[in-house]
Amino acid sequence: MTSSESQTLSIASVQLNSRLLDLHSNLKKHVQLASEAIAKGAKIIVFPELSLSGYNIQDAVFDIAITVSNPLFDELKPLSFSASILFGAPERGRDGELFNSAFLIEKGTISVVHRKRYLPTYNVFDESRFFTRGNEINVFSTEAGKVGVLICEDSWHPSLGYLLAHQGMDILIIMAASPYRSELASETLDISSKWKIICQSYATTLSLPVIFCNRTGSEDGVLFWGGSAAYKAGGQETGKLPLFEEGILFSTFSAVDRNRERFASSHFLDEDLLWQHHELGKLIR
């Protein structure tokens, strides 16, 4: 067995209630909860979408957006020598753009690893008014493996997860700020059930583990439901946090489990990228 095959991913998903626009208060909470997760052996710590700022920031994004050089992160950097820390915040781009971004701190270095591509502007969402969408989709390497990140609405577009998987992704992490919207009156699935289907579909069709980290709490009458969960390659749910409560979900995955799933069901290995490229070209033309 090679060292990469024996590698395990020990992940803590932090389901928290962020205070809207209060970066300093939220940072202290990140430090506290990351410390707790590290004490229990986590090597990757995941926070939800826009965890540092709260979700419904609207016009205030211009004033609170940050860059990787912000001294606010100095309190998290010492912890990042024990674990990689992934969190969400509004990012100020070099040319003045404002992104809904995923930041990673590892070994004292901070980087932006994903900018939300699909910005929902329907129902309770109004993101395209305030953010610029990202234009790249890449995996990033940690000491525990190659990680791919999607931010909430990105996950409803299967092409993004597919592109990450073909870059050698070991695990897919979904950072979300999903509000609760019950649709039982119309005899359709509620939002929590739909998210479970999405996560299990990725875990099954891409044959890799999936982490879903959703926030909880409320902002301006919008209720976030939590329900963060983990799924092993093949789609089996391995853990889940309660609805509407803060908490930390600990999960452990190995490359052996993923490779065993791909051996048992080789649909991902059978993908034909050149043929797909040809067919997409026909559609674009």
Q: What are the φ and ψ backbone dihedral angles of 54, each rounded to 5 degrees?
A: 85, 165
Judging by beta carbons within 10 Å of its beta carbon (0-12, 13-18, 19+), is residue 225 exposed, middle or buried? buried
- Name the residue with tokens 């301006």: 220
Topology of domain 9-284 in CATH is Nitrilase/N-carbamoyl-D-aminoacid amidohydrolase (3.60.110)
> Which pLDDT value is given to residue 123?
86
With H, G, I as helix, E, B as strand and everything else as coil, classify residue 98. Answer: strand
Residue type at 38? Answer: I
Q: What is the largest CA-CA distance in the chain?
A: 55
pLDDT in tens, the chain (285 residues): 344 455 788 999 999 999 999 999 999 999 999 999 999 999 999 999 999 999 999 999 999 999 999 999 999 999 999 999 999 999 999 999 999 999 999 999 999 999 999 999 988 899 999 999 999 999 999 877 899 999 999 999 999 999 999 999 999 999 999 998 765 555 566 899 999 999 999 999 999 999 999 999 999 889 999 999 999 999 999 999 999 999 999 999 988 888 889 889 888 889 999 999 999 999 999
> Which pLDDT value is given to residue 3?
44
Q: Where are the alpha helices (DSSP H) in 59-148?
A: 61-64
Domain parsing of the chain, residue ranges: 9-284
> Which pLDDT value is given to residue 173?
98
DSSP letters of 7-44?
-EEEEEEEE--PPTT-HHHHHHHHHHHHHHHHHTT-SE
> Which pLDDT value is given to residue 87?
98
Residue type at 204? Answer: T
Q: List, edge to edge, every strand of the sheet that includes 44-46.
A: 109-115, 98-106, 84-92, 44-46, 8-15, 247-254
Residues near 31 by beta carbon (within 8 Å), at least 6 away in sequence: 75, 76, 79
Residues near 22 by beta carbon (within 8 Å), at least 6 away in sequence: 54
Determine contact, residues 130/59, Cβ cutoff 8 Å.
yes
Tokens (6 digits) for 236: 């089996």
CA distance 104 to 1: 30
- Name the residue with tokens 């590698």: 7
Nearest partner of 48 among 18, 22, 74, judged by Cα: 18
> Which pLDDT value is given to residue 184?
53
Distances 107 to 85, 104, 145, 192, 233 between C-alpha atoms, Å: 10, 10, 15, 35, 28
Whole-model pTM: value is 0.95
Rounded to 5°, angle at Cα 144 from 36 and 34 = 15
CB atoms within 10 A of CB 113: 20
